[in-house]
A = this chain, B = another copy of it.
Amino acid sequence: MFANETLPEGGRPEPTEAEIVDQIFDAVIDQRLPPGAKLSESALCEAFGVGRMRIRRSLLLLASRQVVDLQSNRGAFVASPTAAEAQEVFESRLMIEPNVAMLAAERATETDVAMLGAHLEKEHHAHRSDNRHEAIRLSGQFHVVLARIAANRVMERMVKELVTRTSLIIGIFGAPGTDNCRDDDHSLILEALRAKDAAAASRLMSEHIGHIQTNLDLSKGRPSTVDLVKLFAS
């Protein structure tokens, strides 16, 4: 009679922890959830329609991937990477993603290339129609799709985490107007995949990450604990 027993009443089928985590990841990537945002348990319970236990597990998983900051007796907050952490994230991306792009170029089937092409098309479309959140989300997702083409789940998880943290970093250290990924770079990488040119894919990815980093000002940062002193001086 009922398609799913766990439907309370015409609602949705009770998201699992992984789904909750993914949704929060996406919200962080496209900057609907800014760094420092409070993630109160009760609000999340209502938002996802699940019990507190599941929310707490999800928050723990998010914390284990450095996307949320779990403060004792205070609650969960979207992480606010420091300049030092930002440095580490980009350093890691520069270590990992060129190799991922290389692998992807070696392993991409025609189907993969077509899929990535379609993804890029959506990216362009979102850009043209000024759909900012969608554009940012797809732009980050591009890197994850590439990792999926490389067919290495370890790398895929890693890239997803790093892309998400990069969104937070851009939110803190980025110039307000600039995009995080210029999609021209993505187009070039797609071409390298299409040509099965692994070396080019690797090089282009290095440059691409360099471009992202260029648009940041890691010195501006967010108040560390001493900011109050500066404020007091003025």
Q: A residues near B, CB below 8 A?
A: 57, 60-61, 64-66, 85, 88-89, 91-92, 95-96, 99-100, 103, 152-155, 158, 162
Contact = CB atoms under 8 A, between A and B. Distances in A.
Given A64-B65, A65-B64, A92 B57 contact: no
Given A95-B100, A99-B95, A154 B60 contact: no
Contacts of A92: 152, 154-155, 158
A88 B91 CA distance: 21
Given A91-B103, A95-B155, 4 more contacts: A60-B61, A61-B64, A88-B154, A95-B100
B88 A152 contact: yes
Most chain B CB within a 10 A radius of its CB, from A66, A92, A153: A92
Count of this chain's copies in the oligomeric assembly: 2
Given A65-B64, A95-B95, A95-B96, A88 B162 contact: no
A209 to B, nearest CB: 13
Nearest to A152: B88
A212 to B, nearest CB: 16
A96 to B, nearest CB: 6
A155 B88 CA distance: 8
Nearest to A95: B99
Contacts of A155: 88, 91-92, 95
A13 to B, nearest CB: 16
A153 B88 contact: yes
A201 to B, nearest CB: 14
24 contacts: A60-B60, A64-B64, A64-B65, A66-B154, A85-B153, A88-B152, A88-B153, A88-B154, A88-B155, A91-B103, A91-B152, A91-B154, A91-B155, A92-B152, A92-B154, A92-B155, A92-B158, A95-B95, A95-B96, A95-B99, A95-B100, A96-B96, A154-B162, A158-B158
